[in-house]
Structure 1
Amino acid sequence: MATKTRTLDELFLHELSDVYSAEKQLTKALPRLARAATNSELAQAFETHLEETLGQVQRIDQIVEAKGLRLKRLKCAAMEGLVEESRELIDELEKGPILDAALVAAAQKVEHYEIATYGTLATWAKLLGHDDAMDLLLETLQEEKATDEKLTQFAKQTANAEAQAA
């Protein structure tokens, strides 16, 4: 039976393990999103985010190595659900502008989850005196916010209008 988390350090490790799982799941999902997108700009955005996500996994690896941590083997249920939702969209919607708009919305759900997670982890890292980890987590947080902003602009300027016209 698993022991209950009792300290902020243990909670930090649990959440870091969870987001590591989330990022790993995302590295498998992003190529599928890119293939499903009709708009080449959107497909490229998913491919670019895959490269960023691989860098984010490396940052978590850096934190683990620098702190001598051992990540827990767990599966992020939240990301699993978000990935499953995107899979259902791809299966249920006809390829085209409506699917593209739905993929943008699905990607933004992922970004908002990641923004919340990295913001929390950075705050905890600061409280725990893990300044090097905090810096790496804040770097990832800024990337996630930038990706969300790009998705918002794409939705406003392109995807939603194309979906409306379809």
Structure 2
Amino acid sequence: MATKLENLKDLFLEQGRELHDAAMQEQKELPEILKDATNQQLKAIIDRQLKMAKTEISYLDEAFKKLRVKGQGEKNLCCESIIKQTKALIKRSKDAEVRDAAIINSIQRLNHNKITGFGSLTSYAREIGQDEIAANLHKALEQEKSIDEDLSDLAEWEVNKKAASVVL
């Protein structure tokens, strides 16, 4: 049974644990998705995403330690669902360019979940007087935005164009 959220700190902790789980899921699942990508820029971005997930775990672990609370516990069902859908799309993609386009979309969906999460957590941390934690979470937010922008550029200027020209 889930605990009651009595204040903003409780909400911060619950959503922080969900983001921690999202980053852990990425660490586990993205290497498999990386193997299915064919575009070299996409592979480099996925590698950045993996490194960023490791950094996010570190930031969140540091926050939990500073607040003297357990860091694990909440499952990020959104992330779990996106990863499951991504694997299904990869299996069904007959063409490498279409598969790369699907992978970009999926990683952006993961990023958007984390962008909203880190944005909210940054704000919550400031409100509960944890400016140092907020600063680290803001760094994670900016990195997620940067990766998202790079994925959008890659999709728009290269991958989607190649996928659109596929005729089976």
Q: How does 1:119-134 map to 2 (within 5 A)?
A: 119-134=119-134
- Deviation digits for residues 26-67 of structure 1, max 9, x if unmatched? 111211121111112211211121112111111111111222
Secondary structure of the structure 1 residue equivalent to 2:156:
helix
CA RMSD of aligned residues (A): 1.2
d(CA) in 1 for partners of 2:112, 2:95: 25
Q: Distance in 1 between matches of 2:30 and 2:55?
A: 14
Identify if the C-alpha distance between structure 1 residues 96 and 11 changes in structure 2 by more than 3 Å, giving closer, same or farther. Answer: same
How many pairs were matched up?
A: 166
Shift of 1:2: 3.8
Alignment correspondent of 2:164: 164
Q: Distance in 2 between matches of 1:72 and 1:33?
A: 24
Q: Which residue of 1 aligns with 2:146?
A: 146
Distance 2:72 2:44 in 1: 33
Give a deviation string over 1:84-122, Cα, whole Å, max 9, x none: 111111111124101111111111111111100000000
Q: Distance in 1 between matches of 2:27 and 2:72?
A: 19
For 2:98, the equivalent position in structure 1 comes to 98
Q: Does 1:3 align with 2:26?
A: no
In the alignment, what sits opposite 1:84? Answer: 84
User: What letter corresponds to residue 6 of structure 2 in structure 1?
Assistant: R
Question: 2-side partners of 1:49 and 1:2: how far apart?
Answer: 30
**CA deviation digits over 1:124-159, x for unaligned, max 9?**
111111101100100000000000000011001111
Contact 1:34 1:44 in 2 (8 A): no
- Higher mean C-alpha deviation, range 97-106 or range 62-71: 62-71
- Which structure would you say has the larger RCO, counting Cα contacts within 8 Å and 6 or more residues apart? 2
- Distance in 1 (alpha carbons) for counterparts of 2:68 and 2:33: 35
Mapped contact 2:89–2:102 kept (Cα < 8 A): yes
Gaps of 5+ in 1: none
Provide the C-alpha distance between the structure 2 equivalents of 1:2 and 1:153, rounded to a whole number of angstroms: 40
Structure-2 change in CA distance of 1:2 and 1:46 (3 Å): closer
Stretches of 4+ moved more than 2 A in 1? Answer: none
State the identity as a percent.
27
- Could you tell me whether the CA contact under 8 Å between 1:17 and 1:72 is conserved in 2? yes
TM-score (norm 2): 0.94
| 1:27/1:53 contact within 8 Å kept | yes
Counterpart of 2:27 in structure 1 is 27
The alpha-carbon deviation at position 72 of structure 1 amounts to: 4.2
Q: Distance in 2 between matches of 1:36 and 1:95?
A: 11
